[in-house]
Amino acid sequence: MKNKTSFLPQEGQARPSRCPDNSAFKQQKLPAWKPQLTIATVLSSFFLTGVFCLSVGVCLILSANSVREIQIDYSDKCSDCSKLRENSSNWNKECHCSVNFTLKEDILGDVFIYYGLQNFYQNHRRYVISRSDAQLLGRNVNIQKSYCAPFTTYRNGTPMAPCGAIANSMFNDTIDLFYDLNSSVIQVPLLKTGNSWWTDKNVKFRNPKSYNLSSAFAGTARPPYWQKPVYLLDEEDERNNGYINDDFIIWMRVSAFATFRNLYRRVSRIRQFADGLPAGNYTFHISYNFPVTKFKGRKHVILSTVVWSGGSNPFLGIAYVVSGTAATLTGFVITAIHLKLRKKKTYFQK
């Protein structure tokens, strides 16, 4: 058994120092700035913050109000097609409807077309995770181990591409815009690519590597609610097919609220539409495929412009105004308390 005293320092040996090194950092001698919280600095901070937030908020609200926007609800105007789509056995039958509207003034600049859904909840946790990110990167994975169930395989074992509830419920109405010019109907040219983020097309979504896209998806089948396989989403542009299809990418970016809108198309600024949409009569031709009656939903098509602050959403401006108002009111309350206490102090000193 070792002697306990062997661990103690012997006579003549220096005890190890537990003091930190004599450096500016360890001795806490680094130069530092410590604000002096006087009444002048506190009040000036609150009032300057309030003025700044109010100024920014007012600018954002004015900017959002300057956006030109037209929203058309076509749920009731396409009621016949809606009734047809409620019967799942009619999935292969086409149904078209038209919605007329008039622009009283020109819409200048870039014009964006959105589709909007109301009462469609994408924020349910089971719905949000119902996807396979590895599959969407073009990898050969076993989707049975993913969260795509029950939209993974068919009864015969054929895997779905893409799998999951998000992909299966993809919005698939087709919307075309026509312009009535001197009793002649002109189709407005719309851009279906370039609407998604660069990171989506190059990082988050990729097609399987193959000499032919149809062979890359051989052995797979479309989701149950789809009318086309994933490699034929855009029959006019083969570069806009598969997992890198713009419409598919935008739909896979789920919304946090039950009422939302997604970018559908951009107006191509050529010919009569070089400056935007001229005033006149227009018609939306809609191929109705997406049923909404079962969840008591509504469908909209929106024409909108953008400004330096974005679209017509005033939420950010309102948030700045509320924050600025709160900071300013807090400054006035502190000022009142300070003046009241100072009067009491002067009274007792007398």
Strands 260-267 and 190-191: antiparallel
Helix H segments across the chain?
39-65, 79-86, 125-128, 133-136, 165-168, 198-199, 213-216, 246-252, 315-349
pLDDT tens-digit map of 296-344: 899 999 999 988 888 888 899 999 999 999 999 999 999 999 888 877 6
Say what the pTM is: 0.80
Q: CA dist 223 to 149, 175, 204, Å?
A: 12, 22, 20
Query: What whole-number distance in Å separates Cα of residue 164 and Cα of residue 153?
Result: 10
Give the CA distances from residue 201 to residues 36, 122, 213, 221, 290, in Å, rounded to whole numbers and listed in that order. 51, 22, 16, 23, 25
DSSP assignment letter at 307:
B
Alpha carbon distance 199, 315 (integer Å): 26
The whole-angstrom separation of Cα 298 and Cα 104 is 26
> What per-residue confidence (pLDDT) applies to 164?
93
Q: In whole angstroms, what is the distance from residue 245 CA to residue 234 CA?
A: 8
pLDDT in tens, 195-218: 999 999 889 999 998 878 889 898
Strand ranges in 145-226 using DSSP code E only, listed in sequence order: 174-181, 184-187, 190-191
**SS3 call for 100:** strand
**Considering only CA atoms, which of 254, 110, 267 is closest in space to residue 176?**
267
Report whether pLDDT(253) > 80: yes
Give the tens place of pLDDT for each residue, 78-128: 888 888 888 777 777 889 999 999 999 999 989 999 999 999 999 999 999
